[in-house]
Structure 1
Amino acid sequence: MRLFLVALQFLTRLPVRLERFEPGWLNDCVRHFPLVGALVGTVGAVVLVGAAQLWPAWVAALLALTATVALTGGFHEDGLADTFDALGGVVSREKALVIMKDSRIGSYGALALGLSLLLRAALVAVLAARPLWGAVAALLASHTFARAAAVGVMVSLPYGGDVEHAKAKPLALAVAPRNFSIALGWCGLLGLALVVAGVHLPRLLVATCVAAVVALLMRQWLKRRLGGYTGDGLGATEQLAEIAVLLAFTASF
Structure 2
Amino acid sequence: MVKTADSDTVGLKKQWQIFLIALAFFTRIPIPANTPYSTQRLNQANRYFGVVGIIVGAISAAVYLLTLTLFPPEIAIAFAMGCSLLATGAFHEDGLADVFDGFGGGWDVEQKLNIMKDSRLGTYGAAALVMALGIKWLTLAAIAEIDPFLPALLLVVMHTLSRICAASLIFSYPYVRADQTSKVKPLANQQSPQDLWVLIATGLIILLLLPLNAATVLILVLLATRVLCGKWFEHQLGGYTGDCLGATQQLTEIAGYMALLALL
- Does TM-score exceed 0.5, indicating one fold? yes
C-alpha displacement of 1:96: 0.2
Is residue 225 of structure 2 the alignment partner of residue 210 of structure 1? no
C-alpha displacement of 1:170: 5.3
Q: Look at both structures and tell me which one has the larger radius of gyration over its CA atoms.
A: 2
Distance in 2, matches of 1:146 and 1:252, equals 18
The verdict on how the C-alpha distance between 1:252 and 1:170 changes in structure 2, with shifts beyond 3 A counting, is closer
The TM-score, its normalising length taken from structure 1, stands at 0.93
Distance in 2, matches of 1:252 and 1:155, equals 30
Which one of 8, 17, 24 corresponds to residue 9 of structure 1?
24
Which runs of 5 or more residues in structure 2 are unaligned?
1-15
Q: Secondary structure at the match of 1:91?
A: coil
Distance in 2, matches of 1:94 and 1:177, equals 31
Q: Secondary structure at the match of 2:125?
A: helix
Contact 1:60/1:128, CA 8 A, preserved across alignment: no
Which one of 134, 144, 169 corresponds to residue 150 of structure 2?
134
C-alpha displacement of 1:241: 0.3
Look up the match of 1:45: 61
Cα offsets for 1:114-157 (capped at 9, x unmatched): 00001111112222333344212211111111001111211111
Which runs of 5 or more residues in structure 1 are unaligned?
none
Partner letter of residue 64 of structure 1?
A
Q: Secondary structure at the match of 2:146?
A: coil
Work out the number of aligned pairs and report it: 247
Distance in 1, matches of 2:180 and 2:138, equals 40
Is residue 238 of structure 2 the alignment partner of residue 227 of structure 1? yes
Partner letter of residue 62 of structure 1?
A
Distance in 1, matches of 2:263 and 2:201, equals 28
How many percent of aligned residue pairs carry the same amino acid? Answer: 35
- Please give the residue correspondences for 1:80-159 in structure 2 after superposition, counting only pairs within 5 Å: 80-89=96-105, 91-159=107-175
Cα offsets for 1:22-68 (capped at 9, x unmatched): 22110010001011001111111111111111111110110010011
Distance in 2, matches of 1:25 and 1:210, equals 31
Cα offsets for 1:215-246 (capped at 9, x unmatched): 10111011111111100000000000000111
RMSD, matched Cα: 1.5
Q: Secondary structure at the match of 1:87?
A: helix
The TM-score, its normalising length taken from structure 2, stands at 0.89
Look up the match of 2:261: 250
Look up the match of 2:13: none
Look up the match of 2:83: 67
Contact 2:105/2:115, CA 8 A, preserved across alignment: no
Cα offsets for 1:57-105 (capped at 9, x unmatched): 1101100100111100000000000000011246101100000000111
